[in-house]
Structure 1
Amino acid sequence: MSSFTLPTRRMLAASLAATALALTVSACGSSASTMPAMPGMDSASAMPSMSATATASAMPTMDGMGAMASGDGLAATNGGYTLTSTTATLPAGKASGYRFTITGPNGKPVTGFAVDQTKTLHFYAIRSDLTGFQHIHPTMAADGTWTAPLAALSAGTWRLFATFTPATGSGKGTDFVLSRTLTVSGMPMDTALPAASASTTVDGYTVTLAGDLMAGMAHPLTVTITKGGKPVTNLQPYLDTYAHLTAFHSGDGAFAHLHPTTAVTGDHGGPTLSFHPELAQAGDWRLFLQFQTAGTLHTAAITVHVS
């Protein structure tokens, strides 16, 4: 590992509400091998590990502001809440609407959700090789059925995550992250996980990460955005923050995301954003940083290694 060691983790904060963003993360794919297609898998035990050294679980964080997420993101059921869907397979290369419900401890669809980062539910899709990232905001029908408009998916095994906070019931105020796997028909063509790096480019922007982070220890992490060698200072709020950072660990399939601690003060964010993550385990992670300028959303992907 280079001297530049970064994590992307999830914030542990149940009793840590007074602590600055603690993020614990695990992951969803592997650079070395691809998860076999297993439709309908609902739990971490159902999803085979893609790294012999991967830790079995980690506590994900749904909200960059400190609430503790219930579960490690790899189960379809946690705390009495279940992500249910009758869809186990979808065709490749075709946009599709993925329908699902969140059922509560009483077995009925939940229809009341608290708003988190301007949305009542966030939905993510990632392929087993950590490609094809999608961050979607589904719509919910009156009966509690959600429809996530997935862009065309490539053949292989995908994991779909839903993050939400019930507004009523036993889980009121608790952040949850649940997931299911999905098989996309066809012959998978895997992509090797890019090597760890301190910077990446997207749409002409250069994203540079700086930090000296180790697993199990909280350290500051900064993200600097430039364009043409000049600092970018026109970041616009996206989901009430200047950047949305999603992490997938190249090992056990878990997920986490966090938001910068930098305060939002209008359409002039940047060039540097501050995070304060704490990764629970070592290994490679694939980060997806989303930020907005001039009404356009950019998604930068970068691999980091945590010792």
Structure 2
Amino acid sequence: MFTARPAVRRRALAAPGTAVALALVLAACGSSGGSSSMPGMDHGATASTSPTSNASPSKDSSSKGQMPGMDHMAGGNGLASAKDGYRLTSRNASLVAGKRTPYRFTVTGPDAKPVTAFAVDQTKRMHFYAIRSDLTGFQHLHPTMAADGTWTADLSELTPGSWRMFASFTPAGGAGKGTAFVLSRGVTVPGSGRQAPVPAAATTARVDGYTVTVQGRPMAGMSHPLTVSVTKAGRPVTTLQPYLDTYAHLTAFHEGDTAFAHLHPTTHVDGDHGGPKLAFDARLPAAGSWRLFLQFRTGGKLHTAALTLEVG
């Protein structure tokens, strides 16, 4: 069961600075070309684009001159299926385990009609996330939309248990024009499965030969600097490639209720020259354990590290 928490606005602000060491754990998996190498951990898959609804230009005219990830700021913890007249609807209350399966959903507006016009945020009109209740099995997808407003997210294999599906979007018209929303619905995957404990804390971790070090001390409901450093074979990595118009994509889910938060680096994007340090503004709405999923790209390959962050 998922317990809703008060809505808190998601922000990404330029606030880099000197930070102190923070205990984190990173249990990582990588994917190549958007396909995961581990079942149920599809972190960057993108579906083919619908010519009428999901074009993905690299820039949106409304975000010119802004820092990467600063064009839209979503409010709320994502645990509600409806907000300000917008509603996430789906007939998929359950999904099968062990094979790829589509999840179809619609966003309706205050007039109760399907929304079909969405603004571009980080090169996509819709960001979709699936997370298991124990904060495993994370998937980050970019679904396609049919002319009638029905979106389809092609999920990788799901393990049995309780899952939550999140849709992150910004209407391009109507009452919610320019406002970022994160809405979600629960889904059951029948079968025998067990809850995995959240890993203990650590300050560094390795993923695909890269060493990731995290520094910072976020406090609940407050903005604090967070710095991620990337090295390989003891040398600083300066060849990070842009991914969704940033050098790293960072999504967080809260232990116990899977509340959602989305953070972006404040580092300026300059071709394939990212790293070794990436600065974030960390604003997490509640104390406790948060599971962070950091995605970054090198040599055309997407790497995903899972981080456990204790927030005071």
TM-score if structure 1 supplies the norm length? 0.79
Distance 2:276 2:146 in 1: 40
User: Please, which of 229, 237, 256 is the counterpart of residue 232 of structure 1?
Assistant: 237
- How do 1:40-119 and structure 2 match up within 5 A? 64-65=69-70, 67-119=72-124
Amino acid aligned to 1:248: F
User: Please, which of 296, 302, 307 is the counterpart of residue 307 of structure 2?
Assistant: 302
Distance 1:251 1:87 in 2: 23
Please tell me whether residue 183 in structure 1 is matched to residue 193 in structure 2. no
User: Please, which of 231, 235, 241 is the counterpart of residue 246 of structure 2?
Assistant: 241
User: Please, which of 208, 220, 223 is the counterpart of residue 218 of structure 1?
Assistant: 223
Distance 1:70 1:103 in 2: 18
Residue 20 of structure 1 and its aligned partner are, at CA, apart by 3.6
Amino acid aligned to 1:211: G
User: Please, which of 269, 278, 281 is the counterpart of residue 273 of structure 1?
Assistant: 278
Please tell me whether residue 251 in structure 1 is matched to residue 270 in structure 2. no
Q: Assess if the C-alpha contact under 8 Å between 2:69 and 2:246 holds in 1.
A: no
Paired-residue identity, %: 66
Residue 304 of structure 1 and its aligned partner are, at CA, apart by 1.2
Distance 1:198 1:157 in 2: 30
The residue that corresponds to 1:134 in the other structure is 139
Note the alpha carbon deviations across 1:140-162, whole angstroms, 9 max, x for none.
01111100010000000000000
Distance 2:159 2:217 in 1: 35
Residue 272 of structure 1 and its aligned partner are, at CA, apart by 0.4
Q: Assess if the C-alpha contact under 8 Å between 1:197 and 1:304 holds in 2.
A: no
The secondary structure found in structure 1 opposite 2:282 is coil
Distance 1:258 1:304 in 2: 13
Distance 1:304 1:130 in 2: 12
The secondary structure found in structure 2 opposite 1:237 is coil
The secondary structure found in structure 1 opposite 2:220 is coil
User: Please, which of 286, 290, 298 is the counterpart of residue 295 of structure 2?
Assistant: 290
Distance 1:176 1:255 in 2: 11
Residue 231 of structure 1 and its aligned partner are, at CA, apart by 1.1
Distance 1:301 1:216 in 2: 22
Distance 1:290 1:270 in 2: 13
Q: Assess if the C-alpha contact under 8 Å between 2:135 and 2:253 holds in 1.
A: yes
The residue that corresponds to 2:39 in the other structure is none
Note the alpha carbon deviations across 1:127-151, whole angstroms, 9 max, x for none.
0000000000000011111000100
Q: CA 1:280/1:70 → structure 2, altered by over 3 Å: closer, same or farther? A: closer
Distance 2:85 2:290 in 1: 30
Q: Assess if the C-alpha contact under 8 Å between 2:69 and 2:245 holds in 1.
A: no
Q: Which moved more, 1:181-190 or 1:285-294?
A: 181-190
The secondary structure found in structure 2 opposite 1:87 is coil
Q: CA 1:124/1:137 → structure 2, altered by over 3 Å: closer, same or farther? A: same
Structure 2 portions without partners, runs of 5+: 1-7, 16-67
Distance 2:219 2:117 in 1: 38
Distance 1:85 1:12 in 2: 25
The secondary structure found in structure 1 opposite 2:79 is coil
Q: Assess if the C-alpha contact under 8 Å between 1:70 and 1:79 holds in 2.
A: no
Distance 1:241 1:272 in 2: 13
Q: Assess if the C-alpha contact under 8 Å between 1:160 and 1:182 holds in 2.
A: yes
The residue that corresponds to 2:166 in the other structure is 161
Residue 12 of structure 1 and its aligned partner are, at CA, apart by 4.0
Residue 253 of structure 1 and its aligned partner are, at CA, apart by 2.1
Please tell me whether residue 120 in structure 1 is matched to residue 125 in structure 2. yes
Amino acid aligned to 1:115: V
User: Please, which of 201, 207, 217 is the counterpart of residue 202 of structure 1?
Assistant: 207
Q: Please tell me the root mean square deviation across aligned C-alpha atoms, in Å.
A: 1.7
Q: Assess if the C-alpha contact under 8 Å between 1:83 and 1:101 holds in 2.
A: yes
Distance 1:172 1:276 in 2: 25
Q: CA 1:11/1:237 → structure 2, altered by over 3 Å: closer, same or farther? A: farther
Structure 1 portions without partners, runs of 5+: 1-9, 22-62
